Structure 1
Amino acid sequence: MKTLLLVRHAKSSWSDPTLTDRIRPLSGRGKHDVIKMGERLANRGVKPDLLVSSPAVRALETAKAIGKEIEYKKKNISVNDRLYACQPRDILEIVKDFDNGLSYVMLVGHNPELTDFVHLFTDSVAYMSTCAMLELRFYVDAWADIARENLQDIFYDFPKNEI
């Protein structure tokens, strides 16, 4: 079984219009939401083998805040430049290259890339809102084998979801 947890970065700040897209930080609401979602993951006992983030500031801040809540060491967060301004097929290549010794990987990225990537496997999630989390479980032994037909289960959560 391989489990992929996709996380869209939390809400970013637009308060400084001089900042480029890549260096926009989280907004106040984003910081609040990411802690809330990190707590939900911690309550579910989520312990990824690997946490991978886009290099964009808002994505990396999201990854670090979630990591803190689930007790994942900040120094172990992997940054992959290919997760910024990419295509769904790029994400698929990244995932298929994961070491097969890893069973559970968390990936923090952006929209529309994540939503489009999700649609390669399921149509049950129309859109990934900010700080949304989608867990995809595949009945496979190798990351290279993940496909729509071997998707076993999904779990979708987002900040406004009343669990």
Structure 2
Amino acid sequence: MRTLTIIRHAKSSWEQEGLSDFERPLNERGRRDAPVMAARLKKDAAQPDLLVSSPALRAITTARVFADVLGIPTENIQLQAKIYDASLGTLLNVVQSLDDQYPHIALFGHNPGLSQLAQRLAECNVDELPTCAIVQISLPIKHWRDAGAEIGTLSYRSWPKDQS
């Protein structure tokens, strides 16, 4: 059994002119939501062994907040450049190439790809993941390479606007 926790980065800022999309930081709401959502995950759901993040500033910042709240060492955060601006196919390839020594991995990235990935792996009833949303999918597989369409089961989901 494998578990994939999909986390869309927290809300980011568009205020600083001259920054590329890749460099956008979290805004006030994002800085507020990320620790709340990490605490909710810690309280209500299974904990990941490894965090894999897009290297975009808003994604890696969100991953670091989750690591801090969950008590996961920063060396257990891996950057994966392919996650930034990735299509569904690319994200599925990223999942299929994950290290089998980690049975539960959290993936931090961007829409629309993450929403499409959640929909592909399990019946999620998710049109679009809001910022800082968490979707946890149980996959009945021994190896990450076997992840595929509609084989998973949604085991947990939480949006920032949900009541805790």
Cα RMSD, aligned residues only: 1.4
Question: In structure 2, what is the equivalent of residue 21 of structure 1?
Answer: 21
Instruction: Answer yes or no: is the 8 Å Cα contact 1:12–1:26 preserved in 2.
Output: yes
After TM superposition, the structure 1 = structure 2 runs for residues 58-97 of structure 1, keeping only pairs within 5 Å, are 58-97=58-97
Gaps of 5+ in 2: none
After TM superposition, the structure 1 = structure 2 runs for residues 130-149 of structure 1, keeping only pairs within 5 Å, are 130-149=131-150
Task: Tell me the TM-score normalised to structure 2 length.
Answer: 0.93
The alpha-carbon deviation at position 149 of structure 1 amounts to 4.2
Instruction: Answer yes or no: is the 8 Å Cα contact 2:124–2:154 preserved in 1.
Output: no
% identity of equivalent residues: 34
The alpha-carbon deviation at position 5 of structure 1 amounts to 0.2
- Residue 41 of structure 1 pairs with residue 41 of structure 2: yes
What is the one-letter code of the residue matched to 2:163? E
Task: Tell me the TM-score normalised to structure 1 length.
Answer: 0.94
Bigger shift: residues 137-146 or 57-66? 137-146
Q: Distance in 2 between matches of 1:76 and 1:102?
A: 10
Q: Distance in 2 between matches of 1:16 and 1:152?
A: 40
Number of aligned pairs? 163
The alpha-carbon deviation at position 17 of structure 1 amounts to 2.0
Q: Distance in 2 between matches of 1:129 and 1:152?
A: 20
Gaps of 5+ in 1: none
Q: Distance in 1 between matches of 2:30 and 2:154?
A: 28
Q: Relative to structure 1, is the Cα distance of residues 45 and 6 closer, same or farther in structure 2, using a 3 angstrom cutoff?
A: closer
The alpha-carbon deviation at position 94 of structure 1 amounts to 0.9
Q: Distance in 2 between matches of 1:153 and 1:129?
A: 17
Q: Distance in 1 between matches of 2:135 and 2:45?
A: 15
CA offsets 1:18-69 (integer angstroms, 9 cap, x no match): 1110000000110000010011112136431210000000000000001100
Question: In structure 2, what is the equivalent of residue 3 of structure 1?
Answer: 3
